[in-house]
Homo-oligomer: A and B are copies of this chain.
Amino acid sequence: MNSSHLIRDLNDKGLFTVPFTAVEITDAFWRPRQEEHRTTTIRLTLDKAEETGRIDNFRKAAGWIPGEHVGRYYNDSDVYKILEGVAYTLQHVRDEELERRADKVIDAIAAAQERDGYINTFFTLKEPEKKWTDMTLHETYCGGHLIEAGIAYARATGKEKLLHAGQAFADHLLRRFGPGGEHWVSGHQEIELALTALYGYTGHARYVDLAYWFLEQRGRGHGRGTSWEREDFGAAYAQDDVPVAELAQPLGHAVRAMYMYAAMAELVALGVAPEYESALARLWESIVEKNMYITGGIGPSAHNEGFTRDYDLPNATSYAETCASVGMVLWNYRMFLISGDGRYMDVMERALYNGALSGVSLSGARFFYANPLESDGTKHRQEWYDCSCCPTTIARFIPSIGKYVYATGKGRLFVNLYMQSAATVRIPHTGGESRWTLVQNTMYPWDGQVALTLDGEFSEEMTVSLRLPTWAHSWTASINAESVAPSTGSSYLSGGYLHLRRVWTPGDRIELNLDMPVRVVSAHPAVEDDRGRVAVCRGPLVYCAESVDNGSLSDVVVSDRTRFLRRYRPMLLGGVVELTGYNPGGAREVVRLIPYYSWDNREPGEMRVWFDNSTYEPLYVSGAMSE
């Protein structure tokens, strides 16, 4: 097996991620959340993994303690994901107690691994004879999370025990599967992303080849197992209905789809599977235009935890799993990396600030699995779930946010997210590599004003590319207080970015001011639940109403002529811009709105994102026109 010739050198890839370790977030929005994550979420999930026997399963498999496997067949994955979250957390803050706890868990994992590299406590303890018989049962899914955790932990601590466990599992796969080996369709994709990450860490092309092989197994009749046999699921449930390069319609389990699409994008980036690019474009258009909630959430149905039919986006019963929104972040960010196109970052940001962030309470201690867009007061975050993928996804996601702020290309810096921070980036260029320090000052997402100060090594012309989010219909930009005139060659617009090219000077200050008015938006008319309704957004945030602020929500009527008072309320919900809507004349308060991500953090009650739309008499419409 040798297709390493397919793999472009990493340095030839178009774009690079600036790791979150290089970006120190200093804002009042994400930094407190990351701190809450370290002091609450990561410890809580570790505690829960202990309490629910998830960690004990490893100790049992290692023979350290007696007992049966407890819980679901994929519970190992939660432990790995928590360890990945621990690793990221340790990269932010040395936390010896946390590291000691993790080390002990890792010891149990390593001891639980079988000699041939196989690791899965469910099969080891309960059904050792059934290993590799049912593709539904998450053996590669769990193993994939082990690999990602191992890489993260090695990066964070220099300790490679978990990494070696992961690599041993990968090598186990290589011996069993791949060209000439057995067929295998991963029932829950994840191994593909893990294998490309392992290639990134080790440089061994065989892992990428195997990722490609796993993807190419799909849609060719090789899949079998529980979910394949269920009439209501079948091959499409796990995206095994057509070869991946032929995909056109998002189907099946949403998280599985996201992880697979993300892996496909990785293989495009690596030059292994350029043929996936058009499939990804088709899928992206279909999802973004026809199968995505305004929150960036996807997968409306609880039944298959996934996609149904175009424009089927009910609000009260919306599943929109937290993991799927995080998956949208993972996938869309990779779509950006293979294209440099800002529209992927737009969708990524939508999912990040809404559908994904709503997955965790402000306390960091409670989690949504499903993220409804409407509630009668009975839907609340929980401390844990029997299937706890969402809490543990949050555990590994929140500390990694910083990696999405900047990206680099040859002679180019992409400013993708506006987030107050201090960063050090290395920018490759024809003369080698330059080290820049970036100080970004902004109140984003509460305000659209951003100031970016550059310092470092400036030798030749380089481009700073500022993302202009699609919602920013108008903006202004300046360099050292001199306003920018695009289309002059040295500054131009393309792909949703304002590109500023010049030989930069230490201390150069770029200012971007994105107009951030309140927007009243409507859904595609084919979305039945939103017909005749509008939602309210500002900047990247979707807003919602809760009955704690409004009383009953059934009478709330909003229109594009509702006028909104913005008010930053530092003591409300950790500090939010609250919107108060008034009727056009201003005499009557019609609704009070908070960011969607912050709902269900106070008294229980109704919640709504989409409101009945009213057309007021045209008395306040100026002129023969509508504004």
B623 touches A293 (CB 8 A): yes
* Minimum CB distance partner of A538 in chain B: B474
Segment at the interface with B among A35-43, A257-265, A409-417, A483-491 = A483-491
Q: Does A568 contact B (CB under 8 A)?
A: yes
Residues of chain B within 8 A (CB-CB) of A472 are 563
Decide: A516 near B518, CB < 8 A? Known: A292-B624, A619-B343.
no
A599 interface residue per 8 A CB criterion: no
Least CB separation from A476: chain B residue: B566
Q: Known contacts A517-B515, A586-B495, A587-B494: does B625 contact A294 (CB below 8 Å)?
A: yes
Interface centre among A474, A496, A521 (most CB of B within 10 A): A474
Asked if A474 contacts B292 (CB within 8 A), the reply is no
CA distance A627 to B519 in the complex (A): 8
Cβ 8 A contact of A468, one of B522, B586, B619: B586
Copies in the complex: 2
From residue A33, how far is it (CB to closest CB) to chain B in Å?
23
| Selected interface stretch from A100-108, A212-220, A282-290, A456-464 | A282-290
Note all chain B residues with C-beta closer than 8 A to A347.
622
A495 to B476, CA, bound (A): 32
Interface pair A483/B567, CB less than 8 Å apart? yes
Q: Whole-angstrom distance from the CB of A277 to the nearest CB of chain B? A: 15
Tell me whether A493 is interfacial, beta carbon within 8 Å: yes
Name A585's contact: one of B487, B495, B562 (CB within 8 Å): B495
The size class of the interface chain A forms with chain B is 35 or more
Instruction: Convert A293-305 into 0s and 1s, putting 1 for each residue whose CB lies closer than 8 angstroms to a CB of B.
Output: 1101000000000
Contact status of A580 and B627, CB under 8 A, knowing A476-B566, A495-B587, A622-B347: no
- Bound together, the chains give a CA A470 to CA B582 distance in angstroms of 12
Within the complex, what minimum Cβ distance (angstroms) separates A97 from chain B? Answer: 41
A585, B496: Cβ atoms closer than 8 Å: yes
A510, B337: Cα distance in complex, Å: 46
**Residue A319 lies at the interface, judged by CB distance under 8 Å to chain B:** no
Q: List the B side residues contacting A562 at CB < 8 Å.
A: 473
Which B residues touch A291, using CB under 8 A?
Answer: 624
Question: What residues of B have a CB within 8 angstroms of the CB of A623 in the complex?
Answer: 288-289, 292-294, 296, 350
- Bitwise interface map of A from 61 to 72 toward B, beta carbon under 8 Å scored 1, else 0: 000000000000
Inter-subunit contact B350/A476 (CB<8 Å): no
Would B527 and A624 count as touching, CB distance under 8 A?
yes
A563→B625 CA distance, assembly (Å): 21
Q: Which residues of B contact A289 (CB under 8 A)?
A: 618, 621, 623-624
In the assembled complex, which residues on chain B have CB atoms less than 8 Å from the CB atom of A470?
584, 620, 622, 627
Q: Enumerate chain B residues within 8 angstroms of A625, measured Cβ to Cβ.
A: 294, 521-524, 527, 530, 535
- Is A170 among interface residues, defined by CB-CB distance under 8 A? no
* A565 pairs with B486, CB closer than 8 A: yes
Contact of A477 among B343, B487, B517, B565 (CB under 8 A): B565
